[in-house]
Structure 1
Amino acid sequence: MEQKPSGYIAQLDGLRAIAIVLVVLFHWFPEGQGINVIANGPLGVTLFFVLSGFLITRILLSSRSFLQSHGLAATYKNFMIRRVLRIFPLYYLTLLILWCIRYIAFIPKVPTQLYEYPLYYLLYISNFLIEKLHDWSDVLSPFWSLAVEEQFYIIWPVIILTVAPRYLRNVIISIIVTGILSRGVLAWSGYAEGVLMPTCLDAFGLGALWAYVVFFGKNAQKFLRLSGYLTWAGLILFLYICFNEATVVKTWLFRTSMSFICLYFVARASYEGGFSSVFGKILNHGSLRYIGKISYGLYVYHMLVPALVLPFLIRFLNRFAHISLNPSEAEMKIASLVLLVIVASISWYAFEAPFNGLKRHFRLSTMRRPVE
């Protein structure tokens, strides 16, 4: 018997906040030192992937009645339009702004491959550009994960909506295995950055497997116990890889180890009210949930604020207000953090939310409040 889909899950916004904090820490502080002695960035991105695998699969499973009455083409179309409305406007606005400001001498220049290889960004395949150039100094390099998610969105509805429910679990498990195997195969073929979409399928797949378990009532308690054991195994492996030159193990199992850790938190946060401990209160806190709500904007802007927005503001104040600022590195980071939250907040309320509101015209189920 299918379980009726629930609505908004507050603690998942708290997890989004944790994910974006990990990513910002990774990019704003020296890698492998101090607070970044562990791989915060990859862990944060993997948490986003597991969340996406769970939420997207949950949406697709809950759209089964819509699929039966409207057909595959209409269901796929509405799903993609909803994703486009959520993701494309901010993404392409950012690219447009960066493209235009290159011609304004007063605005600081930013290091990006957008100007030389625009099609990789326009077509959402910048992860292929990372594999081609191995250039992580590009301020838009974090967009590789956005490209991976979009590529996943294109193929995943076809799988979830066309595979019969009795085969779905095995298909999802095979997708998880494919993610692990693909990293080894692609690395052997010369694509060792681990940013192509197949190399992330185990993270998406584990989230999808939890959505399947919950939706079809497949003994969620047993799954949670198993995910708890996998979390400890994943944590041990993750720390081992972080502190050792385990090249082969890292290639095959680094993202899997992080996915096991993230799966437990996503599963616990989304089941029967979520965490009830102190950690649950933290996830439910309004400030953390707010950060989670604007996390997409935070992700898009987090490299651009310290590289472009803050230097421009300092230059502007010096030129037009005759205020000369020479902030320390710590002051730059604090100012960047404040600016990042401000910019992402303005972006959400003034730009993203209106587009997001249009999703109500492209429903996927008969629920009054469609799941995002």
Structure 2
Amino acid sequence: MSGEIKSLTGIRGIAAVYVVLYHTASHFSDLNFIQNGYISVDLFFILSGFIMTYTYHLRFSSNINVKDVYIFLNHRVSRVWPTYIFWTIFTVFFFKMFDLNLKSIISNVLMIQNWGVAPSIVGTGWSVSVELAVYFIFPFLIYFFTKKEKSKNISTFICVFIIVYIAYTKHPVVTGSQMKFNGPLDIVAFDGAGDLMRGFAGFTLGVISWGIFSEFKRISDFAADIISLFLVLILSISLTSKGLDVISVAVFFILIPLIGAKEESFISKLLASKIVYFLGVISYSLYLCHALFVYSIRKEAHILLMRLTKEHEITFWISVMAAIVGSCVIGYLSYILIEKPSRKAMKTRFSFTVN
């Protein structure tokens, strides 16, 4: 297993905070940058594909066996399930907003709800369910791309086609019962194929992007910073515009391996700085739990601030920042009290050898 790339952990932290901002302010602000916050999930998919390839490519490049697949799945489930199930149970008991039935309960416990089974109890849990589906094909993707190097170009084209198709062709098979979209790739419904297609395409692009990682290793840190700044500029334009989700995905596809390859470049060091890295460490807990609290924190902060000033615009944005900070505190507590100890315990409990 390869060592951690701290700058990529930092990217995950920024993406998580962007999602929190999106869920806190998108109902009250028409700013394109706010409305496009859902695109962070596509960054998560691509980043997960890249990091898992970085970590496991040697294990599955030559052959696939039951033991190695089990070790991989054990590691991934140990990483995501304990925290996910805690917040699922928490939501059921403290946010009684669901008409629960046996199918919904079982599918959410198994994290398969977004495979066309039932709505996700934890709102952000839909993407965890989608990513779990992709885990089962990941070893075969590595093996296939290793044996069929030339297939990467065709696979990249197919993934881009899928992303364009689900983004700009709102067929009922893709969207299911979803009626409201904040942008082209804002597809999350459990009863359509779009969520799984979105996750599969993004994750596979992340796997493919590993192929350009070694190429970026050869360029200088200065060149990496220039290219990175240019890509960030393009990303800024796409995130502050409407309907340019595909451009954002394309930037993620190039930017992630570039930053990962040049850890001594300025932008990589910035992303690996203590605060940004900290946000990356707690990002999964933050991503899962924040939607349960941001609205109430923002509302209470706004009411309190209105006693001091009647400037609605100012109080709104301060209350949004309070919601983000409050969510980060809860995310941190979730990380140290739930995610970290349960991940270790679960990996140890189920780490027996498979013959």
TM range (shorter): 0.7 to 0.9
| TM-score, reference length from structure 2 | 0.73
Q: 1:29 to 1:142 in 2, by over 3 A?
A: same
Amino acid at match of 1:208: V
Q: Is the 8 A contact 1:176 1:206 kept in 2?
A: yes
Structure 1 segments, 4+ long, off by >6 Å, are: 227-230, 308-311
Q: CA deviation at 1:124?
A: 2.4
Shift in alpha-carbon separation, 1:129–1:335, aligned structure 2, 3 A: farther
Distance 2:146 2:253 in 1: 22
Q: Is the 8 A contact 2:8 2:260 kept in 1?
A: yes
Match of 1:327 in 2: 304
TM-score norm. by structure 1 comes to 0.70
Q: Write the mapping of 1:221-232 to structure 2, written as runs, cut at 5 A.
A: 221=218, 231=231
Which residues of structure 1 form unaligned runs of 5+? 102-108, 244-249, 315-324, 365-372
Q: CA 1:210–1:17 in 2, change beyond 3 Å: closer, same or farther?
A: same
2:205 equivalent in structure 1: 206
Partner letter of residue 176 of structure 1? Answer: T
* Unmatched segments (≥5 aa) in structure 2: 176-185, 189-194, 306-314
User: What corresponds to 1:258 in structure 2?
Assistant: 248
Q: How many angstroms apart in 1 are the aligned matches of 2:335 and 2:150?
A: 36
Per the alignment, do residues 229 and 349 of structure 1 end up closer, same or farther by CA in structure 2, a change over 3 Å counting?
A: closer
* 1:298 counterpart = 2:286: yes
Is the contact made by 2:8 and 2:259 (CA closer than 8 Å) also made in structure 1? Answer: yes
Residues 162, 201 of structure 2: 8 Å contact kept: no
Q: Secondary structure at the match of 2:263?
A: coil
Give the match for residue 92 of structure 2. 99
Which of 73, 89, 92 is equivalent to 1:80?
73
In structure 1, C-alpha distance between the alignment counterparts of 2:29 and 2:134, rounded to whole Å: 33
Match of 2:40 in 1: 44
DSSP 3-state at the match of 1:190: helix
Aligned counterpart for 2:125 among listed residues 143, 152, 167: 143
Verify the 8 A CA contact 2:13 2:283 in the aligned structure 1: yes
1:228 positional shift:
7.0
Q: 1:284 to 1:81 in 2, by over 3 A?
A: same
- In 1, the alpha carbon distance for the partners of 2:58 and 2:8 equals 18
1:59-138 → structure 2 map (5 Å cutoff) = 59-64=55-60, 72-101=65-94, 109=95, 111-112=97-98, 117-127=104-114
1:148-198 CA-to-partner distances (Å, cap 9, x unmatched) read 21111122123324x27230451x444433334345378435323634222
Q: Is 2:147 aligned against 1:160?
A: no
Q: Which residue, 332, 335, 344 being the options, matches 1:345?
A: 332
Report the aligned-residue RMSD: 3.9
Query: Are 1:283 and 2:271 an aligned pair?
Result: yes
